[in-house]
Structure 1
Amino acid sequence: MILAAPPTHPGFLSPTGVEIAFLLVGLVTLGAAVVSVTTKQLVHAALWLVVALGGLAVEYLLLTAEFIAWVQVLIYVGSVVVLLLFGLMLTKAPIGRSPDADSGNRPVALAVAAAAAAALVWVVWDAFRKTWIELDGPAQGSTDVTGETLFRHWVLPFEALSVLLLAALVGAIVLSRKKPEGERD
């Protein structure tokens, strides 16, 4: 009689190196996001946003979704944050602490943020609690599957986002123009 050894699967209390790295990068990303929305300096907020979005790209790499990670870097870190920084520079936003960046609504904002986070967690949990990942076929994070999904179902939202970003850039340029002498607001 031969006894088979029980399978050795890592459990909850024995995480792998990838899981530990995922947790550490997630904590850094969360910290950068919190600093990004709590700092009173607008340029520092934009730079902390770069760190948070870069952390998300690293998380995608750890999930073996390389294509999505590079899209995150190119579109969000490379385009959106640069557009935000150009908007700050073109509108002559204050470089140091801005008294307009803080209002007395922090408790209300915190309550709304907590309610929104709870609602999002509940919606995602409710939507995916009975969903099973099909392991047969191409990998879900592969370029083939991602490209097919993007170009089949998400073309219109991407085009709408590009028009919105273009409108924001044109608006920043219009706001930054110097008015000729004698012209009033």
Structure 2
Amino acid sequence: MLFYIFAILAILSAAYVVLTRNLLYAGFSLLITLLSIAGIYVLLFADFIAVTQLMVYVGGVLVLILFGIMLSSRVHDKSVLSESVNKVWGTLVAGLILVGLSYTILKANINSLPWLQTMQVDVLGEQKSTVQSIGIKLMTDVVVPFELASLLLLVALMGAAYIATDKQKA
């Protein structure tokens, strides 16, 4: 039941993000969407992904978006509104994706998945935190790709900062 509450909350708030013209309301609705998704991850016992969702998306990206909207120079005496008017095409594409995903989910034989067949009735008795095993895996087996990805992100951040600088001063 709790899963359905989080799912409906995520769907409705995501639809509001797409359909509203007020960017500030869209940002706060995105907050509700991301928190609902984190709640679904918690219900699925994916604690590491839930914490990552909260720390990275809710704590970082969304706060950056909201500060960007609120501190924008275009906010001076009027509400920040989106200029997009393609709601019909967006709703049509979203509806087609929803129909396709719903068809796929309904046609999938979920009961035949191997990890569901071997699952015990007492799920919580054997459940352990995945954070420690993921941390050990990141720092032993995949440390080189992990560090290369961090360097790639650093270079992308430096490039974005360079592109965003005012070039008229030079």
- TM (normalized to structure 1)? 0.60
Alpha-carbon deviations, 1:140-172, whole Å to 9, x = none? 9722455548x75x8499649945973696379
Give structure 1 stretches of 5+ with no counterpart: 1-19, 181-185
Partner of 1:114: 95
Aligned counterparts, 1:28-177, within 5 A = 28-89=9-70, 91-94=72-75, 96-98=79-81, 100-103=82-85, 105-121=86-102, 129=110, 131-133=113-115, 135=119, 139=127, 142-144=130-132, 146-147=134-135, 148=137, 152=142, 155=146, 159=150, 162=153, 166=157, 170=161, 174=165
Q: TM-score, normalised by structure 2?
A: 0.65
Which stretch of the first structure deviates more once superposed, 73-82 or 25-34?
25-34
Residue 54 of structure 1 contacts residue 77 of structure 1 at CA under 8 Å; is this kept in 2?
yes
Give 1:50 shift. Answer: 0.8
CA distance in 2, matches of 1:48, 1:77: 12
75-84 or 105-114, which deviates more: 105-114
2: CA distance, partners of 1:124 / 1:156: 37
Per the alignment, residue 16 of structure 1 pairs with: none
Question: In the alignment, is the contact (CA less than 8 A) between 1:90 and 1:172 conserved in 2?
Answer: no
CA distance in 2, matches of 1:118, 1:158: 35
Q: What residue in structure 1 maps to residue 123 of structure 2?
A: none
Gaps of 5+ in 2: 121-125
Compute the RMSD of aligned alpha carbons: 4.3
Q: CA deviation at 1:76?
A: 0.6
Structure holding more helix per residue: 2
Report the number of matched residues.
157
Could you say which structure has the larger radius of gyration?
1
Q: 1:61 to 1:165 in 2, by over 3 A?
A: farther
Query: Any conservation in 1 of the 2:24–2:80 contact (CA below 8 Å)?
Result: no
